[in-house]
Amino acid sequence: MATPIPIEEVRALVEDYPRTPVIATVGSHSALDVADGAVTEKFPSLVLAQEGREATYARYFRTVRTPGGLRRRGCVDEVWTYPKFADLAQHESQERLRRHGALLVPNRALSSYVPLPTIENELRVPIVGSRAMLRIEERTERENYYSLLEAAGIPIPRRIASPDAIDTLAIVKLPHAQRRLERGFFTAATPAEYHRKSEQLLTRGTISADDLATARIEEYVLGPVFNFNFFFSPLPPRSEGLEILGVDERRESNLDGLVRLPAAQQLELSESARIPEYTVVGHGTLTVRESILEDVFRIGEKFVDAARARYPPGILGAFCLQTCLDHDGRPVVFDVAARIGGGTNIHLGLGHPYGTALYREPMSTGRRIALEIRHALDLGRLKEILT
């Protein structure tokens, strides 16, 4: 059976790397933030794109230099395209990445488009982050982010054992039947509503019976969504390791479209059109009431400690805890990204409010990642931030 690449083996790869590594990431999700941060910290940036999906990077944000070599515009220095994203893990592609000195910043595009066993067992390119924790995002895994959050003592939405046990407003979490990376979520407040809505969604082809059978049902937390973008560094003393860089919220289609309709118009829609979909199409920025911040830090610290115990060396670098704030303003974590979150582009180039307050200059997540690499290089401790 294939086994995960030993961490020492990955870390040893950088011994043959050029002096200045290249910050690489998969071209989707948060790649612009990573590229922008890389070049701000004077690293070359490399985006790994899929043919037909490269224009944003290869054309619109590509680095253009003056004849003298100065950056005139853009932040994507190089784009390598592959027929499929997963091809970046082929033997020759890996070799090319290593020769180039690539440090790979993992994002959701990497863990969605390159199979997790390939990332864990075959991808011999150093990852700036927590390779072994990418899998916990899969809700269908037995060991997933819910078990980690529970072990950490972090509040999560109450699990509801079965459709017939629904006794409050609940959310049913399963993938979209056709667009597998999207959601086929729906809400129900009673078993009867569950059965009625699931029938409609099955007929519509939004969800499949197999996914429905294994869906997680949990209490719907009535409250605004705050996605906390954290950063954890193993370089300073533990007490200084955790930072909150910024907070984002999402725009979801067609949920947000429905919410923008006055109630009278919502009620005029057909019953099935009233069931929203949760396809993330963009993000906005938020700050949190200051008296809540300490609670958020407490949760972040618990997450770091639990991750260290369960998945050594634990969480490294950027991660995101997605929360709803309940009626008491308590964050309840309903999802985790054990890598850069999907909403960090909100502060691309500008810096996050909290990150900037901390660093006294514009600090986006992408820049913070590059700064971490810079610090680690200066300290001769690069290996400690790689897995």
Residues forming the site for ligand AMP (CB under 6 A): 157, 171, 183, 185, 218, 220-221, 225, 250, 278, 322, 324, 334-335
Nearer to ligand AMP, 36 or 335 (CB): 335
Q: How far is the CB of 342 from ligand AMP (least distance, A)?
A: 8
Q: How far is the CB of 309 from ligand AMP (least distance, A)?
A: 24
Nearer to ligand AMP, 4 or 282 (CB): 282
Q: How far is the CB of 156 from ligand AMP (least distance, A)?
A: 8
Give the 3-state secondary structure of residue 9. helix
Q: At what angle do helices 290-310 and 145-152 cross, to 10 degrees?
A: 110
Q: How far is the CB of 310 from ligand AMP (least distance, A)?
A: 20
C-beta atoms surrounding 92 within 10 Å: 8
Structure-token match 């399963």, residue found: 174
Nearer to ligand AMP, 61 or 226 (CB): 226
Q: What is the DSSP string of 99-151?
A: HHTEEEEP-HHHHHHS-HHHHHHT--S-BBS-GGGGGGG-TTSSS-HHHHHHH
Q: How far is the CB of 282 from ligand AMP (least distance, A)?
A: 12
Q: How far is the CB of 206 from ligand AMP (least distance, A)?
A: 15
Whole-number Å distance between alpha carbons of 87 and 368:
28
Nearer to ligand AMP, 10 or 109 (CB): 109
Nearer to ligand AMP, 183 or 274 (CB): 183
Q: How far is the CB of 344 from ligand AMP (least distance, A)?
A: 15
Nearer to ligand AMP, 101 or 331 (CB): 331
Structure tokens at 53: 């999906």
Q: What is the DSSP string of 284-321?
A: EEE---HHHHHHHHHHHHHHHHHHHHHSTT---EEEEE
Whole-number Å distance between alpha carbons of 116 and 337:
15
Nearer to ligand AMP, 74 or 157 (CB): 157
- Residue 171 · residue 159 · CB < 8 Å: no
Nearer to ligand AMP, 71 or 260 (CB): 260
Whole-number Å distance between alpha carbons of 198 and 207:
8
- Residue with CB nearest ligand AMP? 335
Nearer to ligand AMP, 322 or 356 (CB): 322
- Residue 37 · residue 370 · CB < 8 Å: yes
Nearer to ligand AMP, 5 or 110 (CB): 110
Q: How far is the CB of 190 from ligand AMP (least distance, A)?
A: 17
Structure tokens at 113: 């488009």
Q: How far is the CB of 229 from ligand AMP (least distance, A)?
A: 14
- Residue 262 · residue 347 · CB < 8 Å: no
Beta strands 225-232 and 71-73 are: unpaired
Q: At what angle do helices 365-379 and 31-40 cross, to 10 degrees?
A: 50
Q: How far is the CB of 337 from ligand AMP (least distance, A)?
A: 9
Beta strands 78-82 and 45-50 are: parallel
b (16+ CB within 10 A) / e for 169-182:
ebbbbbbbbeeeeb
